[in-house]
Amino acid sequence: MVTATHEASHRLFQEHPEALAPVFEALGLPPPAKTDFHELSPDTTEIRPVERRADTVLMFEPDMGEHFVVAVEAQTKKDPEKARNWAYYVSYLRAKYDLPVLLVAVCRDPSTAAWAMGPFECAVGPWTTQVTRPFVLGPQTVPEVTDEAVVAQQPALAALSAIVHSQSKRASAILEAVARGLVSFEPSVTKYWFEVVEVGLESTPARDNWRKLMQNVVTHFPGHGTLFEEKYLEGKSEGKAEGKAEDILRVLTVRGVPVSDDVQNHVTACTDLDTLTTWFDRSLTVCRAEDLFSAEEDDPAAS
């Protein structure tokens, strides 16, 4: 099942693979640059078998050094079946691209993170055929970002820190530092990162704290009901209402129907699109502007 956390992880590493910096540091490799990566298809299905799809698959191709494939998976709970799928992802991608494969699991729950480290073995008796050992980006391996300067320099790492440490005792301090640091960017950049974190926090208590730190911005994750999306849709709805009200008044004016100040104020004050649509339909035929309103409504001309 694809959750909001999976989508946030996918978008984060797809668009900002430099967030993999803790992995490269642990492996003794130089910090990765965004230009060293390009996205590959996450589909690991062959012909007709059951569909399998990793969250994100990247090709790491630096000018100098080893090339390899990175498969990133967001994991919110222990799942033996997923462990078997991970073995399949690694072997399939290794065969397809003829390159080493690094599997990275992103976990915000400490117990899930400990489980995801494996190793997961395929063995018969004493003989081990295959071993899968994911590198886990979780509370144990991702630094707690509480310095605004770090947020400004590495927003992808800061967003990842806020997500994976959402159950930490220092979660509030991390969120506050990340929020303050993100405000230093251009508004559109701030809006994007605020939403990455909110979607990644999903249903955790930390998400409520994060929403309190937000400002009204346009959504980047349509359909997830984020605070930004709610405010954006409210504004969009208000804009439609204003346009509909203007259409009603213009129709009456073009038809030569007198419009009093009370009627005009009553129409422009309405924000319900269904009501405005009804009034618009009536504006095409009424002889008096006051007839726009139904009998049970207060007559604005009488007030």
The answer to whether residue 265 scores a pLDDT higher than 50 is yes
- Domain match, 128 and 171 both: no
Inside any domain, residue 143: no
Q: 247 in a domain, yes or no?
A: yes
> Is the peptide bond between 42 and the residue preceding it cis, with omega within 30 degrees of 0?
no
- In a domain, residue 29? The reply is yes
Burial environment of residue 264 by CB neighbours within 10 A (0 to 12, 13 to 18, 19 or more): middle
Whether residue 69 is found in the same domain as residue 164: no
Confidence of residue 156 (pLDDT cuts 50, 70, 90): very high
pLDDT one-digit tens code per residue, 215-244: 544 456 666 666 666 665 666 666 677 888
User: For residue 128, with 0-12 CB atoms within 10 Å meaning exposed, 13-18 middle and 19 or more buried, which class applies?
Assistant: exposed
Q: Quick one: 74 and 166 in the same domain?
A: no
For residues 87-109, average pLDDT: 93
Task: Residue 12: name the closest of 183, 155, 181 by CA.
Answer: 155
Same domain, 298 and 191: no
Residues 152, 72 share a domain: no
Domain identity same for 235 and 198: no
Extract the tokens encoding 188.
């559109």
State the residue range of the domain holding 190: 148-225
Residue 142 in domain: no
Residues composing the chain: 303
Same domain? For 9 and 130 the reply is yes
Domain count, the chain: 3
Same domain for 273 and 211: no
CATH number at residue 118: 3.40.1350
My answer on whether 49 and 132 are in the same domain is: yes
| 192 and 131 in a common domain | no
Q: Tell me if 202 is assigned to some domain.
A: yes
How does residue 302 score in pLDDT terms, banded at 50, 70 and 90? very low
Same domain, 69 and 104: yes
pLDDT at residue number 87? 93
